[in-house]
Amino acid sequence: MKAIRIHSLGGPEVLKLEEIPDPQPGEGQAVVRVEAAGVNYVDVYFRTGLYKMPALPFIPGQEAAGTVVAVGPGVTEVAVGDRAAYTGIQGTYAELAVAPAARLVKIPAGITTRQAAAAMLQGITAHYLATSTYPLQPGDVCIVHAAAGGVGQLLCQIAKLRGARVFGTVSTEAKARIAREAGADEVILYSQQDFSAEAKRLNGGKGVQVIYDGVGRTTFDKGLDTLAPRGLMALFGQASGPVPPFDPSILNQKGSLYLTRPSMGHYIADRDELMWRAGEVLGWIAEGKLRLSIDREMPLAQAADAHRALEGRETTGKVLLIP
* Residue 128 placed within a domain: no
261, 295, 312 - which closes a domain: 261
Q: Is the domain of 177 the same as that of 153?
A: yes
* Residue 278 placed within a domain: yes
Predicted local confidence at residue 9, as pLDDT = 97
* Residue 130 placed within a domain: no
What is the rounded (10 degree) CA torsion for 28, 34, 40, 42?
Answer: 30
* Residue 126 placed within a domain: no
Q: Is the domain of 105 the same as that of 77?
A: yes
Q: Is the domain of 97 the same as that of 178?
A: no
Q: Is the domain of 74 the same as that of 22?
A: yes
Q: Is the domain of 71 the same as that of 183?
A: no
Predicted local confidence at residue 26, as pLDDT = 98
* Residue 127 placed within a domain: no
Residues 65-80 pLDDT 10s: 999 999 999 999 999 9
CA distances from 150 to 87, 127, 228, 290, 319 (A): 15, 13, 27, 12, 9
Predicted local confidence at residue 96, as pLDDT = 98
Tell me how far apart the alpha carbons of residues 291 and 135 are, in angstroms, rounded to a whole number: 21
Q: Is the peptide bond before 108 cis (omega within 30 degrees of 0)?
A: no
Instruction: Tell me which residues of the chain have a pLDDT lower than 70.
Output: none
* Residue 131 placed within a domain: no
- Nearest residue to 32 via CA among 59, 58, 64: 64
Q: Is the domain of 166 the same as that of 244?
A: yes
240, 261, 282 - which closes a domain: 261
- Nearest residue to 184 via CA among 205, 209, 158: 158
Q: Is the domain of 116 the same as that of 175?
A: no
Task: Please give the single-letter amino acid code of residue 236.
Answer: F
Q: What is the pTM of this model?
A: 0.93
Q: Is the domain of 279 the same as that of 317?
A: yes
Predicted local confidence at residue 314, as pLDDT = 86
261, 278, 298 - which closes a domain: 261
Instruction: Give the residue numbers spanning the domain of 30.
Output: 2-120+268-322
Q: Is the domain of 151 the same as that of 250?
A: yes
* Residue 215 placed within a domain: yes
CATH code at 12? 3.90.180.10
CATH code at 144? 3.40.50.720
Which own/partner contact pairs does 86-90 have at CB distance under 8 Å and 24+ positions apart? 86/32, 86/120, 87/38, 87/62, 87/63, 87/120, 87/121, 87/124, 87/264, 87/268, 88/62, 88/121, 88/264, 88/265, 88/268, 89/62, 90/46, 90/53, 90/58, 90/59, 90/60, 90/61, 90/62
Predicted local confidence at residue 200, as pLDDT = 97
Predicted local confidence at residue 55, as pLDDT = 93
Predicted local confidence at residue 231, as pLDDT = 98
Q: Is the domain of 277 the same as that of 179?
A: no
Predicted local confidence at residue 316, as pLDDT = 82
Predicted local confidence at residue 54, as pLDDT = 85
> In sequence order, what E strands does the chain have?
2-6, 15-19, 29-39, 63-71, 83-87, 96-100, 105-106, 141-144, 165-170, 186-189, 208-213, 227-235, 258-260, 294-299, 318-322
Overall domain count for the chain: 2
* Residue 183 placed within a domain: yes
Q: Is the domain of 219 the same as that of 307?
A: no
Q: Is the domain of 20 the same as that of 107?
A: yes
Residues 184-226 pLDDT 10s: 999 999 989 999 999 999 999 999 999 999 999 999 999 999 9
